[in-house]
């Protein structure tokens, strides 16, 4: 019922027969008329009406008022019907292969035998509407990858002219032509098409609506709008990670410094205790002597110098001299 047929009488052939253009959709029904004006009011019982394709294969024959399948080619058997009111033959379940020219013939069986009365040619074009284009993401949208998506549409005929993408932002619409990839179904001869788009995310926005358009000879088919949003989430994630790493590094550094400081401090204390110990001994020893002297104490396993300076002043007033030894 949804079938729309447009018929144009385009030319009158030199033979006087009319040629007519007929259109049908794939898998639907084609009307192939025979525009014979029966001015003499000849009854169908005296007429032979039949249709042939380009290869002279018979699609349908009405012989003296009765359908006669004997001459009908097997590929057309069961696919045709005839409307006696307007002399139109209908071809059902139209395939892409059915496109081409068809001829109807009208012969009159009179007393003197068969007489050719009429003949006309129809050109049948077959169309299939491409499916609504569908957009799919090829990779998630990030600032680095930009917009990377594909659009596909299937089961159409004939080939589309082009596929393009409309990128709509708040203030502008930019059109990008896609590189079309076409494949054909060997069996049905229908086409599947796809195109991909890979563009940087437009500046100054984080919200772009993409619409894919498939252009055919007769029409433009639009995909549903596909919203792409540049999420800032990738950036904060990185920043959080960075902050975390830096924090951990700083904390570790502080801990290491603290431990080292503690260690050094402890060792210093220990050394000072050692020094203090040795100094006491020295003082004891020294105090037994009655000499002024300075002792330098050097710790065994240390690069850091700890000094113990002990200075004794002789209480004997007859001190020869005040000497300092290092
Ligand atoms: C042809 O039409 C029939 C119903 O009319 C449907 O079931 C079938 O899927 C259609 N085939 C194709 C290839 O579109
Ligand atoms: C044609 O013939 C039918 C009967 O076969 C008749 O009813 C009709 O009026 C005729 N029409 C013309 C235009 O002669
Ligand atoms: C012929 O008539 C039938 C109904 O009687 C109609 O469905 C069809 O569209 C007509 N065809 C043309 C070519 O007028
Ligand atoms: C194909 O598309 C046209 C308009 O784009 C529409 O009028 C027609 O009904 C569609 N045919 C089928 C079979 O879907
Ligand atoms: C996009 O990212 C999600 C996780 O964030 C992942 O599950 C999905 O597979 C990704 N999609 C593509 C097309 O890379
Ligand atoms: C787009 O996605 C495809 C498939 O995942 C990939 O091969 C290609 O490198 C991507 N392009 C960009 C610009 O990210
Ligand atoms: C279609 O036919 C071509 C060659 O004629 C062949 O290479 C291809 O594999 C066929 N595809 C299918 C889906 O049968
Ligand atoms: C869009 O236009 C509005 C006002 O017309 C302006 O405030 C805004 O900045 C524009 N946005 C972009 C991305 O240019
Ligand atoms: C993107 O912008 C459209 C209109 O410009 C708006 O309707 C939609 O809510 C926005 N989406 C986001 C996620 O901002």
* DSSP designation for 70: G
Average pLDDT over residues 238-264: 75
Residue 177 has pLDDT above 70, yes or no: yes
Residue 101 has a pLDDT of 97
Residue 276 has a pLDDT of 55
Average pLDDT over residues 191-197: 96
Lowest mean per-residue pLDDT among 60-64, 136-140, 294-298: 294-298
- The whole-chain average pLDDT of the chain stands at 80
For residue 2, give the ligand 4 atom closest to its CA: 9
In the structure, what pLDDT confidence band is assigned to residue 93 with cuts at 50, 70 and 90?
A: very high
Measured from the alpha carbon of residue 216, the closest ligand is 4
Ligand 9 test: best mutation among 207, 208, 226, 232, most atoms within 8 Å of CB? 207
Q: Which residues are within 8 A (CB) of 261 and not within 5 positions of it... i.e. 6 or more apart?
A: none
Residue 22 has pLDDT above 50, yes or no: yes
Lowest mean per-residue pLDDT among 42-56, 188-202, 230-244: 230-244
Tell me the CA–centroid distance for residue 168 and ligand 8, in Å: 13
In the structure, what pLDDT confidence band is assigned to residue 87 with cuts at 50, 70 and 90?
A: very high
Residue 237 has a pLDDT of 54
Residue 252 has a pLDDT of 85
- Contact by Cβ (8 Å): 119, 104: yes
Alpha helices in the chain (DSSP H): 234-288
Ligand 3 test: best mutation among 1, 9, 31, most atoms within 8 Å of CB? 31
Q: How far apart are CA 252 and CA 114, in angstroms?
A: 109
Measured from the alpha carbon of residue 203, the closest ligand is 8
Measured from the alpha carbon of residue 20, the closest ligand is 3
Residue 269 has pLDDT above 80, yes or no: no
Q: How many angstroms from the chain centroid is the CA of residue 316? A: 104
Residue 231 has a pLDDT of 76
Residue 18 has a pLDDT of 55
Residue 299 has pLDDT above 60, yes or no: no
Tell me the CA–centroid distance for residue 28 and ligand 1, in Å: 8
Ligand 4 test: best mutation among 25, 129, 133, most atoms within 8 Å of CB? 129
Residue 1 has a pLDDT of 35
* DSSP designation for 273: H
Q: Which percentage of the chain shows pLDDT scores above 90?
A: 55
Q: How far apart are CA 3 and CA 132, in angstroms?
A: 19
Higher pLDDT, 298 or 219: 219
- Contact by Cβ (8 Å): 59, 102: yes
For residues 257, 259, 262, 266, the Cα torsion angle rounded to the nearest 10 degrees is -130
Residue 5 has a pLDDT of 32
Average pLDDT over residues 137-154: 92
Q: How far apart are CA 244 and CA 253, in angstroms?
A: 14
Listed ranges 15-29, 90-104, 234-248; the one with the highest mean pLDDT: 90-104
């Amino acid at each position: 019922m949804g079938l729309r047929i447009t018929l144009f009488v385009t030319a009158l052939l030199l033979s006087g027969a009319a040629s007519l253009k007929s259109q049908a959709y794939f898998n639907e029904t084609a009307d192939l008329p025979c525009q014979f004006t029966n001015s003499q009011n000849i009854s169908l019982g005296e007429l032979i009406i039949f249709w042939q394709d380009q290869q002279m294969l018979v699609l349908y024959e009405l012989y003296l008022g009765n359908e006669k399948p004997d001459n009908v080619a097997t590929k057309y058997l069961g696919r045709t019907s005839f409307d006696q009111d307007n002399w139109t033959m209908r071809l059902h379940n139209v395939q892409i292969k059915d496109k081409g020219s068809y001829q109807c013939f009208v012969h009159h069986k009179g007393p003197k035998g068969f007489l050719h009365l009429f003949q006309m040619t129809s050109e049948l074009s077959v169309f299939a509407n491409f499916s609504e284009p569908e957009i799919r993401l090829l990779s998630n949208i990030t600032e680095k990858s930009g917009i990377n998506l594909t659009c596909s549409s299937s089961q159409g005929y004939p080939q589309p002219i082009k596929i393009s993408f409309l990128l709509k932002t708040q203030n502008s619409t930019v059109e990008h032509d896609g590189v079309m990839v076409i494949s054909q179904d060997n069996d049905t001869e229908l086409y599947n098409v796809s195109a991909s788009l890979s563009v940087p995310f437009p500046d100054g926005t984080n919200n772009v609506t993409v619409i894919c358009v498939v252009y055919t000879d007769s029409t433009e088919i639009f995909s549903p709008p596909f919203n792409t949003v540049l999420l800032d989430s990738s950036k904060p994630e990185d920043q959080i990670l960075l902050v975390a790493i830096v924090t951990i590094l700083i904390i570790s550094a502080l801990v290491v410094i603290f431990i080292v400081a503690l260690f050094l401090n402890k060792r210093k204390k220990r050394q000072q205790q050692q020094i203090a110990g040795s100094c006491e001994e020295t003082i004891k020893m020294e105090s037994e002597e009655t000499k002024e002297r300075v002792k330098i104490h050097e710790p065994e396993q240390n690069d850091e110098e700890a000094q113990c300076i002990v200075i004794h002043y002789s209480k004997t007033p007859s001190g020869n001299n005040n000497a300092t030894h290092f």
